[in-house]
Amino acid sequence: MNPVIGIIGGSGLYQVDGLEDAVWTAFDTPWGAPSDDLLIGTLGGTRMVFLPRHGRGHVQTPSTVNYRANVAAMKAAGVTHLVSVSATGSFREDMAPGHFVIVDQFIDRTFAREKTFFGPGLVAHVSVADPVCPRLSAACAEAARQGGATVHEGGTYLAMEGPQFSTKAESHLYRQWGCDVIGMTNMPEAKLAREAELHYASVAMVTDFDSWHPDHGNVQITDILETLHGNVGRAAAMVAALPGLVGASCGAGCATALDHAIMTAPDARDPDMITRLSTIAGRVL
Q: What is the DSSP string of 1-35?
A: ----EEEEE-TT----TT-EEEEEE---BTTB--S
Is there a contact between 7 and 85 (Cβ–Cβ < 8 Å)?
yes
Those residues whose C-beta lies under 8 Å from the C-beta of residue 275, and which sit 6 or more positions away, are: none
- Spatial separation of the C-alpha atoms in residues 98 and 231, rounded to whole Å: 6
Instruction: Give the whole-angstrom CA distance, residue 30 versus residue 128.
Output: 24
Q: Collect all residues with Cβ–Cβ distance below 8 Å to 20 and sequence separation of at least 6.
A: 41, 42, 43
Active site residue 208: yes
Q: Kindly name the residue from 210, 215, 223, 259 that is annotated as catalytic.
A: 210
**How far is C-alpha 35 from the geometric centre of its chain's CA atoms?**
13
> One of 208, 215, 270, 272 is an active-site residue; which one?
208
The Cα–Cα gap between 1 and 8 comes to 22
In single-letter form, the type of residue at position 185 comes to: T
Active-site positions? 208, 210
